[in-house]
């Protein structure tokens, strides 16, 4: 891990570390301690801190950006932004994996690309930025990295569970829950495509595709919600 490559990494991050040891600690995987069978500092404590820094920075931004949204959608929007998959993707964009300090065993088993390692190290990195520069510095980094993830208020509402929303909408009108039906499953076992429909009293109101039955049902519910909301808007009487 050369000084030049670390300088480039810090430029991508948008925070030049005053304390280089904090950066090194954030990049040190716990496997180092296990491999060396002695007390070696690693990034788990920083990961714990970084999780809180991320939560606070993103919570405040969502609160400020979307005053019309209540606790439910805001909580789900935040969870969507900081789930393990999303954090691993943030780490990939930074090229974090190539800078991880790993044990020999972790290295040879693909540890640099492992999503859990990337997500954990990303959280640790946010904790290190906080300790190095304070909350304002950490918040600046977080908001710049996550800027494209905030979306519009309408997209945030889409973070809600479409199947749950559809069931609530339909059962407000009648007691019959929506029914999901698998229409097709094609492709090889490792890369299947599923198509599902959702029905209300036997009538199809949405159809969706996905790489799993669950994803296809979720997409079908989303399509059904759009259909039902559009129909309700059309039926609404015009006002002068």
222 close to 208: Cβ distance less than 8 angstroms: yes
Active-site annotation holder among 47, 61, 120, 123: 123
Element (H, E) at 175: none
Distances in whole angstroms, Cα of residue 161 to Cα of each of 57, 89, 232: 24, 22, 20
Q: Which of 51, 132, 217, 219 is catalytic?
A: 51
Active site residue 189: no
| 82 backbone dihedrals φ, ψ, rounded to 5° | -115, 20
Structure tokens at 5: 């490559």
CA distance 239 to 83: 43
Phi and psi at 47, nearest 5°, equal -60, -45
Burial code (b: 16+ CB inside 10 Å, e: under 16) for 201-211 equals eeeebbbbebe
Nearest to 220 by CA among 229, 210, 230: 210
123 in active site: yes
Residues classed as catalytic = 51, 123
């Amino acid at each position: 891990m050369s000084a030049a490559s670390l300088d480039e990494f810090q430029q991508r991050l948008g925070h030049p570390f005053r304390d280089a040891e904090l950066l090194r600690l954030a990049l040190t995987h716990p496997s180092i301690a296990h491999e060396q069978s002695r007390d070696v500092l690693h990034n788990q404590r920083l990961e714990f801190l970084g999780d809180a820094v991320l939560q606070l920075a993103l919570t405040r931004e969502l609160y400020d950006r979307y005053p019309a949204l209540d606790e439910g959608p805001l909580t789900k929007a935040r969870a969507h932004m900081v789930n393990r998959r999303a954090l691993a993707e943030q780490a990939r964009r930074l090229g974090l994996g190539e800078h991880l300090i790993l044990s020999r065993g972790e290295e040879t088993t693909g540890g640099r690309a492992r999503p859990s390692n990337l997500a954990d190290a990303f959280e640790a990195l946010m904790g290190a930025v906080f300790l190095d520069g304070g909350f304002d510095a950490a918040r600046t980094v977080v908001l710049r990295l996550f800027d494209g993830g905030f979306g519009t208020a309408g997209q945030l509402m889409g973070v809600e569970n479409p199947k749950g929303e559809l069931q609530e909408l339909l059962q407000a009108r009648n007691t019959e829950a929506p029914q999901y039906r698998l229409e097709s499953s094609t492709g090889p076992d490792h890369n299947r495509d599923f198509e599902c429909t959702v029905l209300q009293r036997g009538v199809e109101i949405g159809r969706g595709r996905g790489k799993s039955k669950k994803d296809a049902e979720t997409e079908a519910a989303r399509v059904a919600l759009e259909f039902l909301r559009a129909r309700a808007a059309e039926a609404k009487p015009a006002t002068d």
